[in-house]
Chains A and B, each alone.
Chain A
């Protein structure tokens, strides 16, 4: 069954149509890449899914129920978490890693305290390959890569089914990107978590994703398995994008 289903999603800012009848889905344990250039509407889709923007037309279903229902939204807030592009500004600079990771846990496991909580925090950091020694550090005392790992750990805290990753690697240098891709794949293998990866980078999509949705000016122009789309793109826009970033076969 499709876990997240976006149906006929349209969004307009004043006279500017940002999204037009966008439709796609993310299944259980699936990694879907949402690809497009800047301004194609990728992040607006993420905001609509996360409830930060309200679509004008269309609906978003979470496990078959509409996210416009309050109770469904509440369930979805635990089941789907987000990681944004800039890890530094995604973390409250005045909080320690302990506070940052504890916040979602306080929401979902309010009774958990003391040693049990500490063990959970250490486990969370371990899952993203960070040491528990960092618990009392502030974001500015960490590298950008470490900050993004903390963001991922925080997103993993409520044990979600889906992570929405909005350009999670673009603020990082290439070597850190490679390690984070490895980490994301490892988490997917061990926990079966699904990803909706929003990116403009086909190389990252090729590394991580199983399925791809190509977006151009708010319209889905192509969708399919990653290997198929990357090797035999049917839409001119996808072909042009691929020509820019990947060497075309033949």
Chain B
């Protein structure tokens, strides 16, 4: 029996393979079933990859493309708005990721200590709610609440408390370079902390009760049990969550797009919004240049995914893709 004609099944048994032609024929139904998926992926994911050539071409709206080499990249790397957008992408994504993960861990640890099951379930239902709101809705809610107009809740409360005098003008929270980032982080925490607890709560429910019983016998207090039993059990999950999300750092777009404005570009503009503005908010879009910026974004994203995939393989023995 030659090696070519045998295969090893999942359970480790060697079986004889049928000839390739016959196997293809036997699976004809499966190929046909895959065809719709194949066509969609080919058109929607692979066809655009051919468009990457525009990054090396002169291609403005209405004109026809012609090769220019690396001029778009030279322009990109010498534009300060691009570097600012790149820096903002990294800072906003990473700080947001660490803050929401930290908040999720804290909330799930304390939720886990909640003895009353009904209260626990109700709380879970409440804190998951904001996850189902779109960024457009969340931005709308907070735009109204933070509004400097007479109906803005926060400005109104500051007036009532005397922090803002009758002659002071209202605070433009979302148009202030100093306040925009903290507000962005707070809104992200509001929206995503609850949903983030799901994965940690799943891990916590898997901790053997014997560990807590042993700690009880040793006379551990509740806080000591959290410190020495609960948190160590979460360590792996925390690392997993961070790795999974670090891979998506470059994707940041919609949450910034709905909250930023021209007054705060210096602290809020990210690569995604920069590409958008360079293309759709100018009189004559330069597709070549914005494709080049997009290619940079894809490549950095790709490198991050590969690094995180390696890290994931190391930490938990399986990749993320």
Partners in one complex: no
